Chain A
Amino acid sequence: MIPLENFLILSGFLFAVGLYGVLARRSAILILMSVELMLAGVAINFAAFAAYLDVDGFSGMIFALFVITVAAAEVGLALGIVLRLFRERRTSYVDAANTLKW
Chain B
Amino acid sequence: MFERLPVPAQFDRLIVTGGIVTGVILGPVFLVLLSLLLVGRISAPELVFWLGFTVIVVGALGTVLLQNIVHAAFALIAALIGVAAMYLLLASEFLALVQVLVYGGGVVLLIIFALMMTNAQDDPIVTDGSQKPFAFIVTLLFGGVLVAAAIDVQWGAESVSLITFRDFGARLFRDFMVPVIIVGVLLDIALSGAIVNARPDIEEHSEEASQ
A-contacting residues of B (Cβ < 8 Å)?
43, 45-46, 49, 53, 56-57, 60-61, 63-64, 69, 72-73, 76, 79-80, 83, 86-87, 89-92, 94-95, 98-99, 102-103, 106-107, 110-111, 114-115, 117-119, 126-129, 131-132, 134-136, 138-140, 142-143, 146-147, 149-151, 155, 157-161, 163, 167-168, 171-172, 175-176, 179, 183, 186-187, 189-191, 193-198, 200
Contact = CB atoms under 8 A, between A and B. Distances in A.
A89 to B, nearest CB: 10
Nearest to B158: A52
A13 B95 contact: no
Contacts of B117: 83, 86
Name B's interface SS: helix
Contact of B92 (A20, A51, A69): A51
Q: List the 4 shortest-distance A-B pairs measured between CB atoms, nearest first.
A: A16-B143, A12-B146, A8-B150, A23-B135
Q: SS class of chain A's interface: helix, strand, loop or mixed?
A: helix
Interface of A: 1-10, 12-21, 23-27, 29-30, 32-34, 36-37, 40, 43-44, 47-48, 50-53, 57-58, 61-62, 64-66, 68-77, 79-84, 86-87, 91-92, 95
Nearest to B102: A72
B108 to A, nearest CB: 9
B134 A77 contact: no
A80 B194 contact: yes
Contacts, number: 236
Given A25-B128, A29-B115, A52-B155, A37 B107 contact: no
A84 B149 CA distance: 41
A61 B128 contact: no
B57 A13 contact: yes
6 contacts: A19-B138, A40-B83, A58-B167, A73-B187, A77-B190, A86-B117
A73 to B, nearest CB: 4
Contacts of B200: 87
Given A25-B129, A47-B87, A83-B198, A4 B155 contact: yes
Given A53-B157, A80-B198, A24 B131 contact: yes
A40 B103 CA distance: 10
A20 B139 contact: yes
